Amino acid sequence: MFDVRSTEIPGCYEIQPRVIDDPRGRFVKIFHRNAFAEHGLEVDFAEEYYSVSGQGVIRGMHFQTPPTDHVKIVYCVQGEVFDVVVDLRLGSPSYGKAATISLSADMGNYLYIPKGLAHGFCATSESATLVYKVSTIYSPEHDTGILWNSIDIAWPIRVPVLSIRDRGFIPLSEFKSPFTYG
């Protein structure tokens, strides 16, 4: 049902579902409780939302701190994004490192992001719609991030469109992580 591929970050997976194209269009199953459980993945999700971004927009690097930290699934239903996760879990073999992947509506792939990772992306198509499925309810007091350009990431754009909030995050080097690995 799904091809689950490891990334450079333990517990973070690229998932390629079966994509069915026919004369009517396309059908893609993103979530199946039993298949996720068989792979040891989270099956209890609390919220789902989406963002629409123009080309050159960077959103990130976002996460929620405990006790409302969450597992996140992200997928692109229109366009394409350069997706990024950064491991913030103390004791992780990939602490402070980033993994990048192209997510696109054409490929139908998505990313499974465990607790303790920052997430962001850059819209690389004219417009991109990214869907997020998260395991906890949004909590403004626990919602934060790290500065997008304070991590060793080869972003596909030099002068991005950023929110004031995203420009104001602290760099990774100043971040005191509340997350632990394992």
What confidence score (pLDDT) does residue 144 get?
A: 98
pLDDT of residue 9: 98
Place of tokens 């792979």: 39
Could you tell me where the DSSP H helices lie in the chain? 33-38, 164-167
The CATH class for the domain spanning 2-180 reads mainly beta
CB 147 within 8 A of CB 61: yes
Mean pLDDT of the residues in the chain: 97
Q: Where are the beta strands (DSSP E) in the chain?
A: 2-6, 13-17, 19-22, 25-28, 47-54, 58-64, 72-78, 80-87, 89-90, 98-104, 110-113, 117-123, 127-134, 143-145, 179-180
Q: What are the domain boundaries of the chain?
A: 2-180
* Banded model confidence at residue 105, pLDDT cuts 50, 70, 90: very high
**What does the pLDDT look like over 120-174, one tens digit per residue?**
999 999 999 999 999 999 999 999 999 999 999 999 999 999 999 999 999 999 9
Residue 182, pLDDT above cutoff 90: no
Alpha carbon distances (Å) from 138 to 42, 47, 68, 77, 144: 17, 8, 8, 22, 11
pLDDT band at 48 (very low <50, low <70, confident <90, very high): very high
Once rounded to an integer, what is the mean pLDDT over residues 56-68? 98
- Cα gap 80→35, rounded to integer Å: 26
* Residue positions annotated with a catalytic role: 62, 132
pLDDT at 145: 98
The model carries a pTM of 0.95
How far is 158 from 108, CA to CA, in rounded Å?
27
**Residue 80 reports pLDDT greater than 90:** yes
Residue 148's pLDDT is what? Answer: 97
Share of the chain above pLDDT 70, in %: 100
Quote the DSSP letter at residue 159. Answer: S
* pLDDT number for residue 118: 98
Please give the pLDDT value at position 52.
Answer: 98
13 with 93: CB under 8 angstroms?
A: no
Per-residue pLDDT, 1: 84
